[in-house]
Each structure stands twice: as structure tokens, then as C-alpha cells.
A and B are shown apart, each in its own frame.
Chain A
């Protein structure tokens, strides 16, 4: 689904904020570092516990923060809330516990799920091939950005089979060939004018069609 997170090319945004931050201070507040640390530690734990968690599911959970909140909340506050939502969804905690900041129950026992990736079929595209990206994607979560849909590009590199993000987000591991596709700015933004450039996007095979 196309929620607010798909920001590439959206207009109306002003100058880039925080350009002159110090290299050594990536966090503006100490709580931000803690949010990052808790999430990174818990990603490892959720992976080991085999609860069906995947990084793509995590990304989708973050994307479902309501659009107005998504744009207004601090980046790390979104990480905090997405981790709470992940844990509530899988029965580790409930809303009231996070609201009160106290655990009042034992987590639901998890039956580990072994997720084994399905291997990829033979690659359909080779270096230098012209491709066109799909106009519509029906996935709950996808890594084909809106700005690169229905656009012609060239296969610049082939990376072999990788787990398809769209399926991984719903708990199915399936490999598909991954490519870097080059798009000219004149193809992406034909009415913009200005100096040309190119955008290179990693795209899975099912995002691509023969023109």
C-alpha cells in the first residue's frame, strides 16, 4: 500500500534540515540513542526467537503510523512506537503496559517458526536490457518507490537472488533476482527541466516488465 513513507519526489518540502550537525553527534537527545539501541537489540532477539518477524514486517509496521503523525513525529520516536506496536501485535505486551510503563503480565509463549526461503527461478534480464517498471503494485509493503513506477530504465547490474521484500513483509521468504536499474531524470521527471542526472534503484524481478 502506498502510505506517506514513500517520499521520493514529493514536492513542497523546504531546505534540508540539520545540515551542519557535528559528525560526532548523530543524536540530538540522549533518549534517541536509547530508542535506537532498544530497537537494534530487539531486532536480534525477535530474529532468534523466530516469531515470524522480518525486517520488512518491521518496516511496514513503521509505515502504518498514521500519515499526519508520520510526518510530525521525531524519527526515533517513530522507532519507539513501531517497536511497541510490533510487541503488542505478537502478544509480548499490551497497550496498557506501555502507557503505564509497567509490565503486568507474562508474554504469550511463542512457537518458533522456521522460515525457509524458496529459491529463485532463472533470471529474466541481463545487463544492458531495457525494462519498464510496473505501474501498479498490489503488495501490502513494496520497495518499488512510487516515483519509479511506469518508467523505462536500463539494467545496470545483476545481484543474483535476494529475498523479495514484498513477500518477506507478510512472512513468506521467496527469492527473486535483484537488479540495479538506471533511470534518467528526464524519464522520471519529464516536465521538471534543470540539469540532468540519473537515479539508480535496486529492484526485484517482479517489479519489472519487458517494454
Chain B
């Protein structure tokens, strides 16, 4: 049974840290092997799981929702009111199987930036694994204190009239930033628009999705 005993866990960590092999790859191998031998996993469970996820989830899923919201005002309203419903409508998530997700919209006068200062909360089951920088101690420490400085490192310079909102993911709610549709994309197909949406733009470290010469 789970002990919920904090000091017991601290003791276990010290034991593990003293005795486990130093290479992280060997530690995962040990974990997986023990779980297979105890019957919790089959030999191919992890491979199958990774293959399945690679096909179904990732930044492209969010990009498709955002592109649709740019060309369909009623879909945009759905995304604002109930973001998970927007994913379900495009068959990109199962009914009830997702998150309590909030889409936060950038505009001419507002910019949004998402962080999880306490751990690494992120809508993994929709957008896939978060980027390494999102989980870095530097980002987690600085995004709520020096967000303009962090954004400048990513090449985002907000003009003085743009308000910056930082969202700390402390509850089970999750956030996805909806970037603005770039100018000069009239008549573009939904797929071409979706290709402009980057993973960083859905977190807020990329703002202007202006199409470059190589994009189309």
C-alpha cells in the first residue's frame, strides 16, 4: 500500500541514489526489466505505447485546432468557451478523455506565456512531450519574475503597449496559447496555416508567426 510517508520516501531516494548505476539509461532499463519480470509490462508494451503516441499526439494537434480557429469564427468561439470541445470536434481527442484545458488568446495588445514553476505541468496527452527548455530550472525560476527577459532570449520583443500575462500551471487545468494569425495569409489553406504554428508559439515563447520565404 502507499504509505504517504514523506520521510520514508526521502530515505528510499537516498538509498537509490547511493546504489543505482550512474547512467540514466541503465536505470530506466532496470526499471523496465523489473516491471516486465513482475508482470506489470510485456516485452513490447513500451515500444507499442511510444509508437501509438508518436502517431496520435504532438504539436501538430494543437496547430490544427489553432488554424481552424483562424478561419472559422464559430470554432474560435468554441475554443474560447471550452477548449477540449474544440479538440473533440476535430476528432483530435476523445470525449471526456482530455484535460480541463483553457486556450488563452494573444492579440495586438496582449501576450500570454505559460509555465509550471512547481513541476512541469503541460497538456502532454494533446501536444506531446513539452520542450526541454520548458522543464529547465532556468525557465521555471525566471518566467514569473523576468518574463520580458526570458522572451527576449527567445527573440520576442513586446512593444510597450502589449500587456504580458504569465500563467503558472498550479492546478490540474492546462493552458494552450493561441497565437495571432499572421498577416498576408489570406486565402491560405488550413493545412498551410497549421504549418505556421510552432510548438513554442503554443506556450508563448514565439509570437510573430510571419510566413518566411521557405514556409510555403
| A and B are interacting partners | yes
Q: Which residues of A contact B (CB under 8 A)?
A: 1, 5-11, 13-19, 21, 23-24, 26-38, 40-42, 45, 51-53, 55, 57, 59-66, 69, 71, 73-77, 80-81, 83-86, 88-93, 95, 97-103, 106-107, 110-111, 113, 140, 143-145, 147-148, 159, 162-163, 165, 169-171, 178, 188-189, 192, 194-195, 197-204
13 other contacts beyond A13-B142, A27-B129, A178-B171, with CB at 8 A cut-off? A15-B138, A17-B136, A19-B133, A26-B131, A28-B132, A31-B28, A34-B32, A37-B46, A64-B6, A66-B14, A69-B13, A71-B137, A195-B160
For B96-117 the 0/1 string (1 means CB < 8 A from A) is 0000100000000000000101
| Total chain B interface residues with beta-carbon distance under 8 A | 87
Contact indicator A95/B168 (Cβ below 8 Å)? no
Contacts of B171 in A (CB 8 A): 143, 159, 162, 165, 178, 202-204
Binding site for A on B (CB under 8 A): 1-6, 8-10, 12-17, 19-21, 24-35, 37-38, 40-41, 45-46, 49-50, 53, 58-59, 100, 115, 117-120, 124, 128-133, 135-148, 150, 153-154, 160, 163-173, 198-200, 205
Q: Are A143 and B120 in contact (CB under 8 A)?
A: no
Whether B119 pairs with A5 at a CB distance below 8 angstroms is yes
Q: Is B145 a contact of A147 with CB atoms below 8 Å?
A: yes
Total contacts A-B at CB 8 Å: 280
A7–B100 alpha-carbon span in the complex (Å) = 24
**For B129, what are the chain A residues with a Cβ–Cβ distance below 8 Å?**
26-27, 33, 36
Partner of B170 from the list A77, A90, A171, A203 (CB cut-off 8 Å) is A203
Q: How far is the CB of B167 from chain A (nearest CB, A)?
A: 5
What distance in Å separates the Cβ of B193 from its nearest Cβ neighbour in chain A?
16
